[in-house]
Structure formats: C-alpha cells, structure tokens
A = this chain, B = another copy of it.
Amino acid sequence: MAGSGGSKLGAFQYTKCKMDDYYAPGRNHLFVPGPVNIPEQVLRAMNRNNEDYRSPAIPAMTKVLLEDVKKIFKTITGTPFLIPTTGTGAWESALTNTLSPGDRIVSFLIGQFSLLWIDQMQRLNFNVDVIESDWGAGANLEVLGSKLAADTGHTIKAICIVHNETATGVTNNLAAVRKLLDHYQHPALFLVDGVSSICALDFRMDEWGVDVALTGSQKALSLPTGMGIVCASPKALEASKTSKSVKVFFDWKDYLKFYKMGTFWPYTPSIQLLYGLRTALDLLFEEGLDNVIERHSRLAKATRLAVEAWGLKNCTQKEEWFSDTVTAVVVPSYIDSSEIVRRGWKRYNLSLGLGLNKVAGKVFRIGHLGNLNELQLLGCLAGVEMILKDVGYPVKLGSGVAAACAFLQNTIPMIPSRI
C-alpha cells in the first residue's frame, strides 16, 4: 500500500563497494602537481594485456618512441632512455652515468625537490657545492657566476639544477645558466631536473646545451607513474664512458647495447606504459607542443590572478620565477595550510598539494600541469575559495574566479579541431 514503502526499504541489505573506501560522487578534482590527470585516450591505450617484448612489435614501437620522445626535449642530438623507474630513479640515472664519486657538483637548493636531489648527490658520494636561496626564490646565478669564474682549474664537473621547483613554484632560468657556462667557457656538464617542466614549460635541450634532462611519466606527460625519461647529450654519453659510479640497473651502457642490437630493452619494460607514452605523445603533437606550453602559461596566469584577487601571496618571490605548472600560495599565519588541503579532500573532492618541509603549514599548492583545461581549473579555483572561507579566511567568494575568467575569456583560443 502507498505510504509505507519508504520505511520498509530500510530493510534491504547492502554490501559496501570494495575498493571505494573513500567514495565521493563525481570526479576527483586532481590539482596536486603530480601525479596528474590521465586523459581518457591514454587510459584506453593502456587498457591491454601484456605482450612478449621480444616480438617484432615492441622493438618497432620503441624505435619510433625513442625518436618521438626527443621532440619533447627539443633535441636532435640527444639519446633518450625510457627507464622503468620514478623521477628519483631518473635523477640517480643522470648522476651515476655521467659523474664519478668525489666529483664536484654545483647545485642549487631552493626547495624540497632540489633538497632531495642534493641529498641524493651527497649519499652517492659526490662533492656537492650547494648554492642556497630562500624558499620562494630562484637559483642564485650570481653565486654560480663567481664559482665558475673562480674555477679556472675546472674542478666543477657538473651544474645540477631543478628547472621547476615543485615545492615553491619557482622556475629557474636555464638559458642564463648556459650563458654563464659559455661566458666562462666552462666545460661542466649541465644536468637538469625537468620533472615538473618538460612538456609544460619551454624547454630546449639542444639550444640551451643541456647535457642530461629528465622527467617522469606522471607529470606533464599525464601518464601513470613508472617511467623515468632521461635524455643525454653526446657530451653526457661521452662522460658516461669514464664514469666510475657503481650502478647496474641505471647503467646507460646496457640500454645502448640493446639499442645497437635493435631489441632495445635490457629488461622487461611496461607494455602498458609504452602504449600510454605513444598516445601521450600523439596528444601532445596533435595539440602542438608550443600550444601546450601556451596553455600551461594561460592556466598559470589565471591561477595567479585568482590568488591576487583573494589577497593572498604567491610563495614565489619574483615574477621572473613564476612557475607555469604549479602555484604555491602562502596563507596567513593564523591558518594551517594543511587544513586547507585536508578540507579540500574531505568536503569538495579536491586534491591540492601540501606545503612541504620549510613551508609546511604555510603554503598550499595548486598544480596546473598536464592534460587539463580552463574549466577544470576554474572549478578548482571556486573550490579553493570555498575552502578559504571554511578555514576562516575572509575571501570574497567568486573574486578569484572572476579575475581568472576576465583573463581567460580574452585569451582562450578556439579549439583548432572544432572550428
């Protein structure tokens, strides 16, 4: 009989959905600066069984991938390695192949990821000459200049720099580093962590004379984690022949041996990541790498305008260092930035980046890299506004979105394939 339906329904049993212990309706809004959103095209490409990697199919595919992946580094002369590892492994690969224990490295400490790389250098027994900046500032190139000037004996074997410090949203000027090296005619290797820059920021391996550049699959390439992509200049390859660092898994020699044989893999690659990379590159080239970079610039500018409209400070101290892949936002001292991140996850299904180490509790981060568009970002910005209000910051709701929209509405191009 009508009316009694509702109450009886309570009697039905329901078993909770496995693997959804933290279920929330709708999309997760993923705005950590990595791992980033994977486009559907890539998910599709990776949705496949394993394959024999010694059949003709995988080497044929790998050969083209190695050629194509050079384009994201903007290199003609580089040699890429697709290593089943993470960014940390890619760092280790860059260092241990080109340098020997005790070698003097000049490196810049400007945030958590440069710190971790330096820690790695030290634990790998390199002699690290650290140039430290405030967290929020870029690499101190003046000090680098002095060191290069003083180093007439060429004791400095390598300059190591993080192109984009993900912890503070600081982008370093790589062209300026090259200029200094050229100015002092210094032969040091130029090693660049491009983890949160390559495929998103302007990066020119050949033009800037970068000797090793590296990135990870889960960043601007918008793939799952698991592939460290390292590219070596001829000079770096030459250096690798005399490196005395102990390594096997990360040894380029093994790769080069298999490149020569045409089988390409010293050990089993992830079949799925190879197909994923194929598709990720297809999407990048379809959009056009320069357009991808411009899109990142547009999204970043919109984010910064929102931050400004909220009356908050960018952790990045000067405009020249503004990062186009991540924005670290400083919160007032009476607010714990971790609470912002927690609240995003608990109330809005929004994933923001925590402040790390020195800036823990002081900044939260909005990652705006990878396969992402404007309306996704605007949803995130609207969410941040509500969170700010939740945690007691007197934001004017809509203000950040308005500022971002005012800029975006003037600058978003028509989608070329749809005109």
The answer to whether A383 and B375 touch across the interface, beta carbons within 8 angstroms, is yes
Best-buried of A74, A249, A371, A378 by chain B (most CB within 10 Å): A249
Q: Is residue A261 within 8 Å, beta carbon to beta carbon, of the partner chain?
A: no
CA distance A179 to B120 in the complex (A): 40
Chain B residues near A270 (CB-CB < 8 A)? 224-226
Count class of interface residues, chain A? 35 or more
The answer to whether A373 and B349 touch across the interface, beta carbons within 8 angstroms, is yes
Q: Is residue A24 within 8 Å, beta carbon to beta carbon, of the partner chain?
A: yes
Chain B residues near A386 (CB-CB < 8 A)? 405, 408-409, 412
Question: Which residues of chain A in 33-55 are interfacial with respect to chain B, using CB atoms and an 8 Å cutoff?
Answer: 34-41, 43-55
Chain B residues near A207 (CB-CB < 8 A)? 2-6
**Which single member of B12, B271, B373, B402 contacts A25 (CB below 8 Å)?**
B373
CA distance A74 to B84 in the complex (A): 27
**Which single member of B24, B29, B251, B377 contacts A417 (CB below 8 Å)?**
B24
Q: Is residue A248 within 8 Å, beta carbon to beta carbon, of the partner chain?
A: yes
Chain B residues near A85 (CB-CB < 8 A)? 84-85, 89, 249
CA distance A417 to B386 in the complex (A): 20
**Which single member of B2, B37, B408 contacts A178 (CB below 8 Å)?**
B2
The answer to whether B12 and A68 touch across the interface, beta carbons within 8 angstroms, is yes
The answer to whether B35 and A50 touch across the interface, beta carbons within 8 angstroms, is yes
The answer to whether B206 and A4 touch across the interface, beta carbons within 8 angstroms, is yes
Chain B residues near A401 (CB-CB < 8 A)? 378, 382, 397-398, 401-402
The answer to whether B415 and A349 touch across the interface, beta carbons within 8 angstroms, is yes
Q: Is residue A286 within 8 Å, beta carbon to beta carbon, of the partner chain?
A: yes
CA distance A74 to B209 in the complex (A): 52
Which of A127-135, A136-144, A340-348 is near enough to bind chain B? A340-348
CA distance A87 to B249 in the complex (A): 10
Q: Is residue A363 within 8 Å, beta carbon to beta carbon, of the partner chain?
A: no
- Report the minimum CB–CB distance from A105 to chain B (whole Å): 14
Q: Is residue A260 within 8 Å, beta carbon to beta carbon, of the partner chain?
A: no
CA distance A318 to B264 in the complex (A): 35
CA distance A225 to B123 in the complex (A): 28
Whether A25 contacts B347 in the complex (CB less than 8 A), given A246-B124, A386-B409, comes out as: no
The answer to whether B286 and A351 touch across the interface, beta carbons within 8 angstroms, is no
Q: Is residue A266 within 8 Å, beta carbon to beta carbon, of the partner chain?
A: yes
The answer to whether B389 and A397 touch across the interface, beta carbons within 8 angstroms, is no
The answer to whether A17 and B17 touch across the interface, beta carbons within 8 angstroms, is no
Which of A151-159, A275-283, A321-329 is near enough to bind chain B? A275-283
Q: What are 11 pairs between A and B in contact, CB < 8 Å?
A: A5-B75, A12-B67, A17-B18, A22-B415, A32-B54, A40-B47, A47-B47, A84-B86, A120-B248, A347-B412, A379-B379
